[in-house]
Amino acid sequence: MAGREELVDAIAGFGLFADLASPQLVRIVHTFEEVAYADGERVLRQGLSGSAFHVIVDGEAIIVVDGDERARLGRGDFFGEVSILLGEAPIADVVAVRPLRCLVLAGPAVEAFLVDHPRVMYRMLQAQARRLRAANRWRS
């Protein structure tokens, strides 16, 4: 269990929030909700509407498409934003592979959050660009 002060320290080291000053980090910790998932618990469900944006604070999760593991995510990684940005249900399951703690922002709140925090949006865009590059390399 971490207090909010410890959470602020934890997320200060995450790439997504790297450009934010302390008061903004405090605000994020108070705006997002902390959620704990058990080992093996599903966090996002393929095809199910109404998902949320997750930032991993502690633990690990796997991305599973049609039963196949596609990627592994850890501390500081984030997921769920693609389905929210596109207004569609997730195309993958995300499953905790050991106890997982995330900061969670509800789907309907994501647009306003990103518009209010352009530096977070820029960092998210960078991460998406890296994923796109990796996908293109894999194809070629």
Partner 1 sequence: MAELTRPFPPGDYPVIVIGSGPGGIQVSSSLRALGVEVATITADPGPGGMFRRWPFFQRLLSWTKPHAPVPRGTRAYERYDWNSLLTDDPAARAIQAEFMDGSSYFPSRPEMEANLTEFVVRTGLPIRYDCTWTGTRREDGPAGARFVVETSDGEYGCEALVVAVGVAEPHTPPGVGREHTYHYADVRPADSYAGRRVFIIGKQNSGFELASGLLPWACQLVLASPSATRLSVDTRSLVGVRARYVQPFEDHVLGGGVAILDASIDRIEPTGAGTFLVSVRRSDGGADLTVEVDDVISATGFVCPLVDLPELGVTTFGASRLPAQTPWWESQTVPGISFAGTIGQGAKGLGKHGMPSNSGAVHGARYNARVLAAHLASTRFGVSLPRPVLAADGLVDYIATELTEAPELWHQKGYLARAVTRDPALGLGLVDDGVQPLTHLLDDHAADGVAFTLEADGSGAIYPVLYVQVDGRRTEVTVDPDPLLRYDTPAARAAIASAVAPLLGGVAGR
Residues that bind partner 1 (CB under 8 A): 1, 3-5, 22-24, 26-27, 29-31, 33-38, 41-42, 45, 47-52, 89, 99, 101, 104-109
Residue 19 or 126: which CB sits closer to partner 1? 19
| Other residues' Cβ atoms within 10 Å of the Cβ of residue 79 | 22
What is the closest distance, in whole angstroms, from the C-beta atom of residue 96 to partner 1 in the complex? 10
CA 96 to chain centroid = 13
On the CB side of 93, CA atoms within 13 Å amount to 12
Quote the least distance from Cβ 35 to partner 1, whole Å. Answer: 6
How far is the CA of 46 from the CAs of 86, 100, 124, in angstroms?
14, 19, 22
Sign of CA dihedral 85, 87, 91, 96: positive
Distance of CA 20 to the CA centre of its chain: 17
Please identify, using beta-carbon distances, which residue of 73 and 100 lies nearer to partner 1: 100
Q: Residue 71 or 106: which CB sits closer to partner 1?
A: 106
- Whichever of 39 and 130 has its CB closer to partner 1, that residue is 39
Give me the least distance between CB of 52 and partner 1, in Å please: 6
